[in-house]
Amino acid sequence: MRLSLSVPFLLIALLPSWAAAQAAAAACPAVLQHTQPRLQDEKPVNLCGYAGQVVLVVNTASFCGYTGQYKSLEALHSTYGPRGLVVLGFPSNDFGGQEPGTAKQIADFCENTFGVKFPMFAKSHVAPGAGRTVNPLFVALAQRSGARPTWNFHKYLVSRQGDVVISHASAVDPKDPAFVRDLEKLLKTKRDSPVTLELISSIQNPSDHGPVESLLACKAAQRCGTFPASQAPCGCAQAETACISLRAVQPFGCPK
């Protein structure tokens, strides 16, 4: 009798922890539901720990013409960290064999040369190739953005909700005004705010806007049935027009 009574009580006792786990999973965007080994010691890190922040993911290399961007990345991490930005570095030897070192060599280089303090992860593959297993985070980012890395220091900006992923090519320095504008727009969006309602008010002429506006326009068009047009700074028809117009000039087009 005691055993039969203890089972329901045990289940009741476990409910809070189960509910907490379910809530945590729901709060973590799908694009961040990955565990990655740290560079220094390969300790597993659940990327859901960065949920609610704007995440900048970069594939890095120590002997690349763009390696100097480490300095800009660290400056961004330091300047915008208090506002909710986190930079995540992922060394890769996929392009030009420009990251041949061991984990210790890479970590020492980053710290001693550029004073890197943002999180760095173990070396992995970030683009398809013979015999490669691509890091699942980069698979997800490429699917969301429509662009995959073609060289070192490709950059992905991920919104707080994980529903917007902006791709920037290797040649775009993190200090570039266009990159900073995209970052600022994502930082202004609170974690619990619908990104379309908060930022789409900037869309006036679709030909003048870049990736962030294009994605927001697409999402507003997708949500036509979920809120009255009067509540949106830009109506559904205008958003759809902006989306179609920008599809021709933005390589990723409209998100599904």
Backbone angles phi, psi at 77, to 5 degrees: -60, -40
Residue with token string 């089972």: 7
How many C-alpha atoms does 159 have within 13 Å on its Cβ side? 26
- Looking at CATH, the fold of the domain delimited by 30-188 is given as Glutaredoxin (3.40.30)
pLDDT at position 190:
73
What does the pLDDT look like over 95-151, one tens digit per residue?
A: 999 999 999 999 999 999 999 999 999 999 999 999 999 999 999 999 999 999 999
User: Per-residue pLDDT for 245 more than 60?
Assistant: no
Residue with token string 């995959």: 148
Residue 180 makes CB contacts below 8 A (sequence gap 6+) with 174
User: In this prediction, what percent of the chain has a pLDDT beyond 70?
Assistant: 64
Contact 157, 242 (CB under 8 A): no
Helix intervals (H) in the chain = 2-27, 69-80, 103-114, 136-145, 177-188, 195-199, 211-222, 236-247
Q: Is 126 exposed, middle or buried (0-12, 13-18, 19+ CB in 10 A)?
A: buried
Helix (H, G, I), strand (E, B) or coil at 49: helix
Assess whether 243 carries a catalytic annotation: no
Q: Which token pair is 183? A: 């970052």
For the chain, the domains span 30-188, 195-247
Q: Which of 28, 64, 234, 243 is catalytic?
A: 64
What does the pLDDT look like over 30-60, one tens digit per residue?
A: 999 999 999 999 999 999 999 999 999 999 9
